[in-house]
Amino acid sequence: MNPGETWQVVVHNDDHNVFAVVHHLLRKVCGASDAVAREKTTEIHQGGRAVVGEYESRDEAETIALDLIRFGLHTTFGEA
């Protein structure tokens, strides 16, 4: 890992998950507050995607992304 390197987790809009489910998963998996989860879910719904977390560790970003994928969200991660 390079110093200052960060990894982003991005959730993309899909036709399968409703607002309430995405909101709940952002709170449960990402540890987002109610307000942040609502803001990010709205961004996903209206803009097609949102960065839901930035992490210094690739492993942590990958774990969060895989957890969201397991719950059915279209999620990617990569270097910021």
What is the per-residue pLDDT across 29-75, written as a single tens digit (0 to 9) for each? Answer: 999 999 999 999 999 999 999 999 999 999 999 999 999 999 999 99
Whether the full predicted model's pTM is greater than 0.85, yes or no, is yes
Residue 62 falls within a domain, yes or no?
A: yes
DSSP string, 1-48: --TT--EEEEEE--SS--HHHHHHHHHHHH---HHHHHHHHHHHHHHS
pLDDT of 1 reads 55
Residue 18 falls within a domain, yes or no?
A: yes
Provide the sign of the torsion angle of the four alpha carbons 22, 23, 29, 35, taken in this order: positive
Total domain count for the chain? 1
User: The CATH number of the domain where 20 resides is what?
Assistant: 3.30.1390.10
pLDDT of 15 reads 94
Residue 19 falls within a domain, yes or no?
A: yes
Mean pLDDT of all residues in 7-24:
97
